[in-house]
Structure 1
Amino acid sequence: MKTLFVRGPSLLSRLVLALACSFLLMFIDHRLQAMQPVRLFLNSLVTPVQYLAILPEQILDNFSDSIKTQEQLAEENEQLRQQLLKQQGQLQQFRLLANENKRLRELLGSEQRVPNRRMVAEVIAVASEPFSQQLVINKGTLSGVYEGQAVLDNRGIIGQVQDVGSNTARVLLISDQSHAIPLRSERNDIRVLAQGTGEIGRLQLMFVPHSSELKEGDLLLSSGLGGVYPEGYPVAKIRKINRDESLPFAQVQADPVSALDRVRNVLLLWQNDDERQPIYEDQPDG
């Protein structure tokens, strides 16, 4: 007698099969980048959803800005004027130093440094993964953004591009546990390696010997090693040094110079010797 319901594979067999397929897909994607077009398509697909998600916040921000009194606006305008005046004075000094540096490099026969190309982007979402610290910005491949690109804000380096869609990109912050960046001390040029701790405002310096001349308060700049980040941009300040001789290395904690939990606008950098260059919206075709 035939049964009404045919019994299929057991739940354990289905679980094993699903896990095997998952590991196979991850291996193929890791080795051959076979899923890159799929990720690009999905990133483009969720872009409207991301814009809709931040729409209420933008409406509230615009409303709060609109109810500012005329007195507050006048005060802010005066502060901005004073700040602009100070920055213009600093700019004049920087131009003088740049010209002097150019002449010295010409005398020494050294290659001149050309400023990197840049583009401003806006943060439209914060990644919701509990063990990953990432941002989503409103620039993608259509703007020339690429994986591994350096990302800054008005204070210093905040991370690098990890995934790119056509109109959006995902930025991995320097505080993420999977991120590391080579740095040097501004005071004495000691090279160190900073790794994220998983805390939004904390970095840890790796493999620092007890005899190191680093001090609390030292400013750490990007060293340019590795080719990801350009040299000389601020990254972090040393907050605490623990020279416990019972440990193989000194325990050094540093705080990012940027407020990573309050970033709203970022700056994308393109190396001048890189074939990839920014694509601006008003750039003419051809």
Structure 2
Amino acid sequence: MNTISAGHRSYFPRGPGLGLRTLTLMFCALALILTDARGERLQLTREIMTTALTPLIWVASLPTRAGIAADRMQSRESLARDNAELRQRLMLLQVRAQKLDALEAENRRIRELLASREALDEKVLIAEIIAINQDPYRHQITLNKGIRDGVYRGQALVDAHGVLGQVVEVSPSLSQALLITDPDHGIPVEVNRTGLQTIAVGRGDGQGLKLPFLPSNADIKEGDLLVSSPLGGRFPAGYPVGRIHTLRHTAGEHFLEALAHPSAQLNQGRQALLVWSERRNTETPAADAEAAAINGGGDAAAPDMPPEAPTAAATP
């Protein structure tokens, strides 16, 4: 029994109770706190202990750091995915905005055409420009209206700002028009200020007109407005054609050349107005279509035109 008791005492030694140990630790901690508060005697000890425990602190913080890194990785992937989606949405919105801008501009041009249509006394028809001749020396456009719509050769073409040109070829459902800036196009005009009658010919650059047969003493000046003349019977009178911007006097010549900017907005829209002349207003489109069907082709409309009007009106 003594042997067992001695062994038992060696394995489970009796010592101070838990309360005494706690009080001892609290006393030591309080002493350290007071000593540290009164001076820097424990500064060196603190630094040594901090340096010695740094690896332990780093190892203890590994789980937290790993969690933070995983969260950052997920956040980065999520942000990259969100940014990609936002970029795609932005691209779609930009495309839609561009489409809306184009539709808004087109609607504005159509409203201008409709406004000019209401202001006109002549019979008119809105046509869509479906093609433009790519030849730099030929200024032609294709319209989606033809003989079936009553379109005829020599018919005037205008926009909301002035004369665009005239129809030169007609098929049952399409037609081709020659713009006033084409070098083969001529249009009788008059100076709105003085009533001077002359011919405006395309310069071939797509942007200008010239008046090559003016007398040297003609009453014309820069800024004068040119309007269409009824001479020839092809263009209705009074439509804006252009405005003079340059006058050229050649020494020893009896003529004066004037240059003008077209009033119409060439190559800036997709719609135009086909205008019937006064003589054509007395005829029905059905009669034109029937005559074209009998004669077989777009040239059927030509016999109904005034005999004095050539293909390009008043081309010199």
Query: Structure 2 length as normaliser, TM-score?
Result: 0.53
Name whichever structure is richer in helix by fraction: 2
- Indicate the residue corresponding to 1:237 in structure 2: 243
- Report the structure number with the largest CA radius of gyration: 2
In 2: Cα distance, 1:220 partner to 1:239 partner: 11
For structure 2, the residue ranges without an aligned partner over 5 or more in a row are 1-92, 287-316
Moved more, 229-238 or 245-254: 245-254
In 2: Cα distance, 1:277 partner to 1:153 partner: 23
- Indicate the residue corresponding to 2:259 in structure 1: 253
- Indicate the residue corresponding to 2:150 in structure 1: 144
Q: How does 1:264-279 map to 2 (within 5 A)?
A: 264-274=270-280, 275-278=282-285
- Indicate the residue corresponding to 1:227 in structure 2: 233
1:198 and 2:204 aligned: yes
Q: Using the TM superposition, give the Cα deviation of residue 173 of structure 1 relative to its aligned residue in structure 2, in angstroms.
A: 0.6
> CA contact under 8 A between 2:235 and 2:277: conserved in structure 1?
no
Q: Using the TM superposition, give the Cα deviation of residue 256 of structure 1 relative to its aligned residue in structure 2, in angstroms.
A: 0.4
In 1: Cα distance, 2:271 partner to 2:175 partner: 13
For the residue of structure 1 that corresponds to 2:279, the secondary structure is coil
Structure 1 residues 241-261: Cα deviation after superposition (integer angstroms, max 9, x where no partner): 012333331121111011212
1:67 and 2:73 aligned: no
- Indicate the residue corresponding to 1:115 in structure 2: 121
> CA contact under 8 A between 1:182 and 1:225: conserved in structure 2?
yes
Structure 1 residues 130-179: Cα deviation after superposition (integer angstroms, max 9, x where no partner): 42110001101111111110110111111000101111100001111111
In 2: Cα distance, 1:134 partner to 1:156 partner: 17
- Indicate the residue corresponding to 1:215 in structure 2: 221
In 1: Cα distance, 2:225 partner to 2:160 partner: 16
Label 1:69 to 1:123 Cα distance change in 2 as closer, same or farther (>3 A): closer
> CA contact under 8 A between 2:125 and 2:275: conserved in structure 1?
yes
Q: Aligned residues, how many?
A: 185
In 2: Cα distance, 1:207 partner to 1:67 partner: 49
> CA contact under 8 A between 1:193 and 1:205: conserved in structure 2?
yes
- Indicate the residue corresponding to 2:14 in structure 1: none
2:276 counterpart letter in structure 1: W
Over the aligned positions, Cα root-mean-square deviation in angstroms equals: 3.1
Label 1:167 to 1:64 Cα distance change in 2 as closer, same or farther (>3 A): farther
- Indicate the residue corresponding to 2:138 in structure 1: 132
Label 1:187 to 1:65 Cα distance change in 2 as closer, same or farther (>3 A): farther
1:159 and 2:165 aligned: yes
> CA contact under 8 A between 1:270 and 1:277: conserved in structure 2?
no
Which aligned runs of 4 or more in structure 1 are off by greater than 6 angstroms?
none
1:262 and 2:292 aligned: no
Identity score, percent: 34
